[in-house]
Amino acid sequence: MPNITTSMKEHDIIKLKHHKEYVIMAVLKDFFIGLSENQMLNTAAKKYGLKLGAQRVVAGTNISETIESIKKLNAHGISCTVDNLGEFVYNREEALEAKEQILQVIEAIHNHQVDAHISLKPSQLGLDIDYDFCLNNLKEIVMKAKSYDMFINIDMEDYKRLQPSFDILTELSKEFDNVGTVIQAYFFRAEEDMKKFKDFRLRIVKGAYKEPPEVAYQSKEDIDKNFIKLIEWHLLHGKFTSIATHDHNIINHVKRFVQENNIPNDKFEFQMLYGFRTDMQLQLAREGYNFCTYVPFGNDWFGYFMRRLAERPQNMNLVVKQVFNKRTNTMIGLAAGAFMLGRWTKKGKKKRKRK
Ligand code: FDA
């Protein structure tokens, strides 16, 4: 007979270990999100080029390097969606510069006849400055892409930019049919949005930003459940579904679901980020599934890179092996601790002040 006292102890230890892991992950997530939003670090990183192992997950700093990366992926039957990295666009000049850069990428994709389209973020094109200004920038881009029969995906950012981004999509769709967007499964409103935009090409993701419990699911279980629900519905009723995830459980579920429901391969594709689970990307393409790699490029890489670490702090081991040894990992741990302590102290002060 098993010793009940011992197994209860074991159970408690396992519970404690999971709780500890959960707390460490939550602290690291906050830490990296904090870094991603740090304007000073973002500006500094631009000057120094791809560092800290970012070259493993960013395809290049300029268009020609990026075209070379796309050609390599195309050679394996993988198509690409290209993202001109950019954060913190607060003035019109920067937004116009970003627009010009994206127009040049469209031209380069066309000239080199590579299999690729564009992903862009409304905030980079002036959404935080002026809605109409942003809409006009997007119109110019979508019009140019349309002339080359190229698709434009509007990436989704945080909650405050969600509705304006859908409004832009609705406005653009009055003139163009080569535009689509992203549905983030962590939002309570995701199902309603997906049904409203079901006739668009939609990318479905879990969601990358830190959102409050008033608007978004917080636990992995709830997010995964909603993610699967949305994917299944859109595969059955939508126009074209891009399933963007590195989660093998979700991918295996989708493979079974499309087979059981006779959904043809040309109704959907899998998407992953450049440099992540490359073996699985190649394998899915070899198995005959449509596969599209999200290819970020440019010198504004820091925020993107930090968000990837926030999503999955283990990426730190995968990505920056050559830079981070045990000592630097410990230093990051200490910095994260100090960062959180700072935030809690600030919160405490604010509370005391309110009182
Ligand atoms: P998640 O990080 O939840 O991991 C689930 C499990 O998968 C892990 O526990 C592990 O077992 C396995 N796994 C994951 N990554 C692994 C790795 N690198 N190696 C080994 N195992 C791994 N978000 C957003 O808000 N707006 C957007 O527009 C987009 N766009 C976008 C495009 C594309 C192409 C992708 C892939 C993702 C986005 N995202 C996004 C990000 C998305 O919302 C989400 O934050 C990340 O994809 C992380 O969630 P996953 O579903 O990939 O797995």
Provide the percentage of residues in the chain whose pLDDT is more than 70: 79
Element (H, E) at 81: strand 79-84
Exposure letters 270-298 (e unless 16+ CB within 10 A, then b):
bbbbbbbbeeebeebbeeebbbbbbbbbb
What residues does ligand 1 touch, defined as CB less than 6 Å away?
155-156, 182, 184, 205-209, 244-247, 271-273, 276-277, 294, 311-312, 315
Q: Catalytic residue at 149?
A: no
Exposure letters 137-157 (e unless 16+ CB within 10 A, then b):
bbeebbebbbeeebbbbbbbb
Question: pLDDT for 17-31, tens place per residue?
Answer: 566 666 777 777 788
Distances (CA, A) of 183 to 34, 96, 204, 207, 240: 24, 27, 5, 8, 13
Q: State the average pLDDT over residues 316-338.
A: 54
Tokens of 329: 């990992």
Of 292, 244, 228, 234, the C-alpha closest to 267 is: 234
Nearest CA to ligand 1 atom 9: 247
| Burial of residue 315, with CB atoms counted within 10 A of its CB: 0-12 exposed, 13-18 middle, 19 or more buried | buried
pTM, rounded to two decimals: 0.85
* Residue 152 three-state SS: strand
Question: pLDDT for 68-126, tens place per residue?
Answer: 999 999 999 999 999 999 867 889 999 999 999 999 999 999 999 999 999 999 999 99
Tokens of 239: 């126009």
What is the Cα–Cα distance from 120 to 281, expressed in whole angstroms?
22
Instruction: State the CB neighbour count (10 A cutoff) for residue 84.
Output: 21
CATH class of the structural domain 59-300: alpha beta
What residues does each domain of the chain span? 59-300
Per-residue DSSP letter, 239: S
Q: C-alpha dihedral over 137, 191, 280, 152, to 10 degrees?
A: -20
Residue 291 banded pLDDT, cuts 50, 70, 90:
very high
Tokens of 20: 């500890």
Q: Is the pLDDT of residue 321 over 60?
A: no
Which atom of ligand 1 is least distant from the CA of 220?
Answer: 3
Question: pLDDT for 126-147, tens place per residue?
Answer: 999 999 999 999 999 999 999 9
The structure tokens 């992203």 sit at 182
Catalytic residue among 56, 83, 128, 155: 155
Q: φ and ψ at 107, to 5 degrees?
A: -60, -45
Whether residue 191 contacts residue 229, with contact meaning beta carbons closer than 8 Å, is answered with yes
Q: What is the DSSP string of 318-355?
A: HHSTTT--HHHHHHHHHHHHHHHHHHHHHHHHHHHHH-
Which atom of ligand 1 is least distant from the CA of 224?
Answer: 3
Residue 14 banded pLDDT, cuts 50, 70, 90:
low
Of 230, 117, 134, 109, the C-alpha closest to 180 is: 117
Tokens of 262: 């006779």
Q: State the average pLDDT over residues 160-174.
A: 98
Q: Is the pLDDT of residue 5 over 70?
A: no
* Residue 185 three-state SS: coil
Nearest CA to ligand 1 atom 19: 277
The rounded Å distance from CA 5 to ligand 1 centre is 40
Q: Catalytic residue at 203?
A: yes
**Mutation probe of ligand 1 site: the residue of 124, 246, 305 with most atoms within 8 A of C-beta:** 246
Give me the amino acid identity at 58: V
What is the Cα–Cα distance from 87 to 123, expressed in whole angstroms?
8
Nearest CA to ligand 1 atom 7: 247
Q: State the average pLDDT over residues 164-175.
A: 98
Q: Is the pLDDT of residue 255 over 60?
A: yes
Catalytic residue among 56, 201, 203, 307: 203
Q: Poorest-confidence range of 238-247, 291-300, 334-343? A: 334-343
Angle between helices 39-48 and 302-311 (to 10 degrees): 120
Instruction: Quickly list H helices, the chain.
Output: 4-36, 39-48, 63-74, 92-112, 131-147, 162-173, 190-196, 220-237, 248-260, 278-286, 302-311, 315-319, 326-354
